[in-house]
Structure 1
């Protein structure tokens, strides 16, 4: 595909966990006790419909891709955020946080896709992608894609670099090949649009980067090459801390932490293409959505130490006051297309929204309806296509987080 299609494909993907939006702590100062909701939830009025209200033991019904998802999240914990490459890249893209595995191979439109991936590129263990841009509108600033694929051995990583780079040239011809200083193993070239695309095998890993220039005329290709070097340097530095789980031990990985995933609504259909659910450390969760810089400040302010992402999103903060601040911060940065709507019966403090007809410069798809609420130290975010379904999901998720009922 050509470069414009490449950029649109990775920016206009359907949301997978759109509630992990950019956020800014708006009540981080002052007396925290003033932030705690005063209205109580009437659990007798909650209407969860057919959604589960009892915690599940995820180990008992582990999907086939569960171990791969967990190992990919472990890889993400050692990958740099774009803002750790350069502090200006703070707007995560909708394609960021995508997981790859033999059961979840790259799809057409992905940066590392090739037809019949598993047949022509053997040995994939897991992978992770993290994409960001300098401005909210991707067309107005510089962008950076980072993908790391882990293979069974270094030769397979080298083979993948060769195959993917050769295939990419068919749809995105090279203006000229370039050398990235300090990275002789990298296969890198300048595209016809003056972006720099790179595949670099490193031990059993393949590090892929795609860096675009800004709007300057003429394009500053030297900047793009320099940013590519910085990204490769940072990936190698941080990935040195990635402790690989041997492939034969991956099925034994614990896929839940402190039962948080079991207390989060499950994904409706784990057989659906791209469906994942897992528990993330704060750093891994920062790869997902929104503005990573303000999200990190909010996580730090609220003491977030775990994030579960499945059929809902659940954040574990330090206490109830911190949870309420986190909700306020999430709301402060909601998509401008949202307007308020009714909360579920029995949940007067829930903050619920529906998508309006207002125009927005944001390209990302957003859920039709969304609710945010707290239960003790937990913050939950649920979304749905219909308001009745939203209310049922919110009710069920609240009950899942309730210790005694």
Structure 2
């Protein structure tokens, strides 16, 4: 699957991307799929007005994305943290979307963080399976000012100590940080304030014998350095301007298949979003591999909703991005037929019924112009209709 030439031949012939495999300039892509012949069921096929979905939490959620786009990946701190665990993509934290901090639960969050505006969460692991290697959790939380961030840091550290007592540890290069080592649970929790940003780092090591706490302290120091460096690229939006932050970028989200009721896993409403490149990488199961694929394809924007759309640099790049995604997931999937009247669209079903159906649910990929589409759902019949609807959304008006 790694051969660029093979994939170029397959996708060019099947999806109709013309002259996309040679060097130099090419004509605009042509498309062999007849949208009128596709069965899209009752799924949306007309772009929607994303601004119509704006709520009171929308501005803070968009600010969270801006923070996420300036936050380094755990793999940016250390390339060994090459895996992410959770299936769902949303990493945003707001007062309306609180998170469970280490040793604490979600109900504690807003009580401990007066003045909190928005933030981002990311996790990386050294092994794909939980509990088989060191894990690194990052929380980048923005407050109204530094004083409120300092107060929240103290409250969080005190509550963590009450909930899960541990030993105070110094972070040599960050004397203003507060850190606690829990030898029973084998993790190090640290807090550092940088202006209005509260940076929380959680490192757990469930397997080393004995645990090298000096290594975990050094990793925490590296993480704080990377976080502060990355967040220099973030300029806080004034609180009174949060509502002006756009919900869509270049109309990409409006042309992404909307979430249906089954695709909304929480009571937080529609969590559809468009993410710039760095923020999108935080959501990926294999962030290091996907970062390389993004670099190769020139991905700069990703939309997440009932499907996923990736905007690449040109009409030749979607095929390579799709090939990279298929390579990453090959161990969990078996190839199945394309949807009716959609020759060349690459579709897969769960290879082994014993594996997680959430992790390896039926999926289809296709390219359209400079966009790569990924559609995933619980049944093949539903998948085919949703893939047809996603194609019609991209083809609408063309």
Taking structure 1 as the reference length, what is the TM-score of the superposition? Answer: 0.85
8 Å CA contact retained: 2:90, 2:271 = no
Following superposition, the deviation at residue 112 of structure 1 comes to 6.2
Matches within 5 A, 1:153-172: 153-172=145-164
- Corresponding residue number in structure 1 for 2:363: 370
- Corresponding residue number in structure 1 for 2:110: 118
Matches within 5 A, 1:78-89: 78-89=70-81
Deviations 1:252-293 (A, max 9, x none): 111211110111112335773375222111111111112222
- Corresponding residue number in structure 2 for 1:51: 43
8 Å CA contact retained: 2:45, 2:389 = yes
SS at match of 1:115: helix
SS at match of 1:314: strand
Following superposition, the deviation at residue 400 of structure 1 comes to 0.7
How many residues are paired up?
376
- Corresponding residue number in structure 2 for 1:34: 9
2:208 corresponds to 1:208: no
SS at match of 1:288: coil
Following superposition, the deviation at residue 321 of structure 1 comes to 2.5
- Corresponding residue number in structure 2 for 1:289: 284
SS at match of 2:107: coil
Deviations 1:304-347 (A, max 9, x none): 12111122110011233311111111111116332233332121
2:157 corresponds to 1:181: no
8 Å CA contact retained: 2:102, 2:160 = no
Q: 1:219 aligns with which of 203, 211, 216?
A: 211
8 Å CA contact retained: 1:165, 1:199 = yes
SS at match of 1:245: coil
Matches within 5 A, 1:104-143: 104-106=97-99, 108=100, 113-143=105-135
8 Å CA contact retained: 1:49, 1:392 = yes
Deviations 1:111-166 (A, max 9, x none): 76453532442222111011101222232222100011111122221222122222
Q: Specify every segment of 5 or more residues in structure 1 that has no aligned partner in the other structure, as ranges.
A: 1-24
SS at match of 2:175: coil
Following superposition, the deviation at residue 249 of structure 1 comes to 0.3
Following superposition, the deviation at residue 374 of structure 1 comes to 1.4
SS at match of 1:401: helix
RCO higher in 1 or 2 (8 Å CA, sep ≥ 6)?
1
Q: 1:316 aligns with which of 289, 311, 319?
A: 311
Following superposition, the deviation at residue 167 of structure 1 comes to 2.2
8 Å CA contact retained: 1:194, 1:221 = no
Which is further off, 218-227 or 345-354? 345-354
User: Cα–Cα, structure 1 residues 399 and 206, in superposed 2: closer, same or farther, change >3 Å?
Assistant: same
Following superposition, the deviation at residue 296 of structure 1 comes to 1.2
Deviations 1:46-92 (A, max 9, x none): 11122111112212332443222221111011111112111221212
8 Å CA contact retained: 2:10, 2:344 = no
User: Cα–Cα, structure 1 residues 364 and 103, in superposed 2: closer, same or farther, change >3 Å?
Assistant: farther
Q: Specify every segment of 5 or more residues in structure 2 that has no aligned partner in the other structure, as ranges.
A: 15-31
Taking structure 2 as the reference length, what is the TM-score of the superposition? Answer: 0.87
- Corresponding residue number in structure 2 for 1:14: none
Deviations 1:350-398 (A, max 9, x none): 22222243545xx894253221111122111111122222122111111
SS at match of 2:395: coil
Deviations 1:161-210 (A, max 9, x none): 12222222344321x11011122232211112332111222221111111
SS at match of 1:352: strand
Q: How many angstroms apart in 2 are the aligned matches of 1:303 and 1:26?
A: 18
